[in-house]
Amino acid sequence: MAAGSVAFAGLEVALRPAPPCRRPPIQLGSSFLHSRRPWRRRRLPALAKKSQQQQKGCRRKGDLLVVVDELGGQYEEGFEDVHSQLINFFTYKATRTVLHQLYEMNPPSYMWLYNFLVNNNPTDGKRFLRILAKEKQDLAERVMITRLHLYGKWIKKCDHAKMYQRISDENLQLMRERLMETVVWPKDDPNMEETGNL
C-alpha cells in the first residue's frame, strides 16, 4: 500500500490533502456521535503533519465532527465505485455458481478451481479473472459468461422501488433500535422517585 492511501473493502484509495478552510465547514450532529462508549480518536499518519491551528479550525468545533474534505466525493460525481462493486459481486457470485456446477459434473475441475480460490480472492473481479485466464482460459470464460447471465437475470428481477423501500425501512429500523437504546425508561432511572409512596 502506498504512503498516503487507505485500503477500504479491498480497494486502495489515495488520500487527497485537505485544502485550507476557505468556506465555513459543514457541521454534523447526531445522536450516534454521543453513544455510551466514547469515540476513540486517532490521527492518521498522513494527517499528523498538519499544524495545530489547521486541525483546530478545520477539523472539529466543540463536540461536533466537521467535514473538511469529502473522501468519497460528491453525489454529482457519479457512482463508478458502486458499478465496480456490483461487477465484483457478480464475479464472486458467478464463481460460486461455476464451482457448484463443477462439483456435480466435473470433480477434477472442481478440485482445481477450489484450490485456485484458496489462493485467489474472487471479490476483485478483474484481477481474479486475469489470473484465472492465464491458468485456465476455459474456466475464466465460463465465469465471465455466467457473470453476464446472472447480471441479466438480476436486472429483469430487480424492482428499484422495492429496493428503495427496503433501504428506507432498514434505516427506520436502525434509528428505532438506537432510540430504544438511548431512552431511559422511568423504571430504569434510579433518580426517579416513586409516586405511589407520597
Q: What is the pLDDT of residue 14?
A: 52
Q: What is the pLDDT of residue 68?
A: 53
Q: What is the pLDDT of residue 38?
A: 45
Q: What is the pLDDT of residue 184?
A: 74
Q: What is the pLDDT of residue 100?
A: 96
pTM, to two decimals = 0.54
Distance CA 53, CA 33 (A): 24
Q: What is the pLDDT of residue 36?
A: 47
Q: What is the pLDDT of residue 79?
A: 81
What does the block give as the cell for 182?
A: 438511548
Distance CA 146, CA 101 (A): 11
Distance CA 158, CA 21 (A): 43
Q: Which domains does the chain have, with CATH numbers?
A: 7-68 (no CATH), 80-157 (1.10.1200.210)
For the CA atoms of 136, 139, 145, 147, what is the dihedral angle to 10 degrees? -100
Give me the count of residues in the chain. 198
Q: What is the pLDDT of residue 102?
A: 96
Q: What is the pLDDT of residue 49?
A: 46
Distance CA 123, CA 11 (A): 10
Element (H, E) at 26: strand 26-28
88 contact partners, CB below 8 Å, separation of at least 6: 10, 123, 124, 125
**Mind listing the pLDDT tens digit of every residue in the chain (198 residues)?**
555 554 545 555 455 555 555 555 555 554 444 444 444 444 444 444 444 444 444 444 455 655 555 555 566 667 888 899 999 999 999 999 999 999 999 999 999 999 999 999 888 899 999 999 999 999 999 999 999 999 999 999 999 899 999 999 999 999 999 998 888 777 766 666 555 554
